[in-house]
């Protein structure tokens, strides 16, 4: 009897061991196929493309790059990406539950958009910044030229017209960047502008009153910094309908020697918890444009070279503008829709309507009935944008325009 019982136990244990081995092998197969399909996905969405001028490549992105007339063939690892949760923001779910303090105003396409000059702080001490801006979540311009001595200002840029003292124009120090970061892979935005006769277009909309309508096609990709530097050289002497913009380039994308040119300001390191969420560099030739959006974290925005104009709206007012535009398009204007934006914000009707709402209506001289604020920034100036405040940015003037921003808590 004991022998029979022993054999039964033995068979049961053998059966359990067999089942365990089968399960382990199935798990291994599942893991293998998951890895296989993930590898296949990344292989098909991130692919090397060898760009030679004159090659019959059908990709519109490649055709656009080839039209820049860059010298010699350029080898690019191009990674085309859909536009999602970008344009100066790295939005988290926390931004969806922002509780605005101000009341909601009603906006329509014909609403007069008035913008008052934003206040300039009397000094840039930590206590003043914390009490006047950071804690009450109010935007302000830091005292002019507060960031004049930022190393990047002297290393990355040079004066293009040293003979002019009243209106200096900055140019990119291509030699310095070529020496220290030519092979760094950076995010670039490619925008092509085309003009059409609105009277020849069918349908209703902005073209109903005739005139010329400008349309924009937009692509985003990663490429070596040297590609952008080659375009900058060309753009300085020849006007380009195809434009490249180094947008939201993280410091981590750059070599250490270039990162050292952007030390964290004391206001960022000490005003709050000292948690730097992200640091990004923005460089282009005017006109540059960032559509209306909001950030989930406080933002210190510093102008490195050239000029930019920033228009800001309080959280509730910005949401009202965004909602009005989205309703015209038959889309949701909810906070969730505002947080997770698509490529439509950079081209098409949404871009045109947002641009008209924020920038299209001239400001009445002397009017104090503003619903928003405007900040005009020159080289060395800094702007604090509180969490949740909506803003749109335009690069203006001549030469190169460049900025760096810190998102922090």
Three-state DSSP at 97 gives helix
Q: What is the pLDDT of residue 199?
A: 53
List pLDDT tens digits, range 228-238. 999 999 988 88
Element (H, E) at 248: strand 242-250
Q: What's the rounded Cα separation, in Å, for the pair 204 and 349?
A: 12
Q: What is the pLDDT of residue 94?
A: 29
Three-state DSSP at 164 gives coil
The residue ranges of every structural domain in the chain are 2-45, 57-408
Q: Which of 111, 115, 113, 105 minimizes the C-alpha distance to 320?
A: 105
Q: What is the pLDDT of residue 161?
A: 77
Instruction: State the maximum Cα–Cα separation within the chain, in Å, rounded to a whole number.
Output: 109
**Check whether domain 57-408 has CATH 2.60.120.650, yes or no:** yes
Locus of tokens 């080289």:
379
Buried b (16+ CB within 10 A) or exposed e, 239-267: eeebbbbbbbbebebbeeebbebbeebeb
β-pairing, 115-117 vs 372-377, is parallel
Strand locations in 271-318, DSSP E? Answer: 276-284, 288-294, 299-305, 307-313
Q: What's the rounded Cα separation, in Å, for the pair 181 and 224?
A: 9
The pTM of the full predicted model, rounded to 2 decimals, is: 0.70
Q: What's the rounded Cα separation, in Å, for the pair 86 and 382?
A: 22
CB 402 within 8 A of CB 283: yes
Q: What is the pLDDT of residue 109?
A: 38
Q: What's the rounded Cα separation, in Å, for the pair 38 and 33?
A: 8
Q: What is the pLDDT of residue 3?
A: 54
CB 331 within 8 A of CB 73: no
Q: What is the pLDDT of residue 18?
A: 75
Side-by-side strand order, sheet with 115-117: 115-117, 372-377, 307-313, 390-396, 288-294
Eight-state DSSP code of residue 120:
B
List pLDDT tens digits, range 275-291. 999 999 999 999 999 99
Q: What is the pLDDT of residue 48?
A: 38
Average pLDDT, consecutive stretches of 10 residues, N- to C-terminus, the chain (409 residues): 58 70 71 54 38 40 53 40 34 30 38 79 96 98 96 94 74 96 95 66 47 71 96 86 92 96 97 95 94 94 98 94 88 61 66 89 46 95 97 95 97
Q: What is the pLDDT of residue 53?
A: 36
């Amino acid at each position: 009897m004991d022998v029979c019982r022993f054999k039964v136990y033995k068979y049961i244990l053998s059966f359990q061991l067999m089942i365990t081995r089968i399960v382990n092998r199935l798990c291994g197969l599942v893991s293998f196929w998951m890895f296989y399909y993930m590898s296949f996905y990344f292989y098909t969405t991130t692919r090397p493309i060898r760009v030679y001028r004159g090659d019959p490549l059908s990709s519109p992105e490649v055709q656009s790059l080839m039209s820049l007339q860059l010298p010699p063939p350029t080898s690019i690892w191009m990674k085309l990406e859909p536009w999602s949760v970008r344009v100066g923001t790295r939005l988290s779910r926390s931004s969806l539950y922002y509780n605005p303090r101000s009341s909601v105003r009603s906006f329509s396409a014909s609403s007069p958009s008035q913008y008052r000059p934003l206040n300039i702080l009397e000094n840039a001490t930590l206590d003043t910044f914390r009490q006047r801006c950071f804690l009450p979540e109010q935007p302000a311009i830091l005292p002019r030229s507060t960031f004049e001595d930022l190393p990047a200002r002297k290393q990355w840029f040079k004066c293009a017209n040293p003979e002019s003292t009243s209106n200096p124009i900055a140019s990119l120090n291509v030699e310095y960047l070529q020496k220290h970061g030519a092979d760094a892979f950076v995010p670039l935005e490619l925008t092509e502008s085309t003009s059409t006769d609105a009277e020849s277009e069918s349908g209703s909309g902005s073209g109903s009153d005739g005139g010329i309508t400008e349309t924009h096609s937009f692509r985003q990709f990663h490429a070596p910094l040297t590609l952008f530097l080659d375009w900058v050289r060309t753009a300085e002497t020849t006007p380009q309908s195809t434009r490249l913009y180094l947008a939201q380039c993280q410091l981590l994308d750059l070599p250490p020697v270039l990162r050292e040119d952007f030390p964290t300001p004391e206001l960022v390191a000490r005003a709050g918890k000292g948690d730097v969420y992200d640091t990004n560099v923005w460089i282009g030739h005017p006109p540059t444009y960032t559509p209306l959006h909001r950030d989930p974290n406080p933002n210190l925005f510093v102008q490195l070279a050239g000029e930019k104009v920033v228009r800001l709206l309080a959280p509730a007012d910005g949401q009202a503008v965004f909602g009005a535009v989205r309703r015209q398009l038959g889309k949701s204007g909810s906070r969730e829709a505002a947080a997770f934006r698509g490529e439509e914000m950079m081209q098409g009707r949404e871009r045109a309507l947002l641009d008209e709402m924020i920038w299209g209506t001239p400001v009445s001289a002397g009017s104090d009935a503003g619903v928003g604020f405007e900040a005009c920034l020159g080289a060395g100036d800094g702007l604090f944008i509180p969490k949740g405040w909506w803003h749109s940015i335009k690069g203006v003037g001549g030469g190169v325009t460049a900025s760096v921003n810190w998102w922090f808590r």
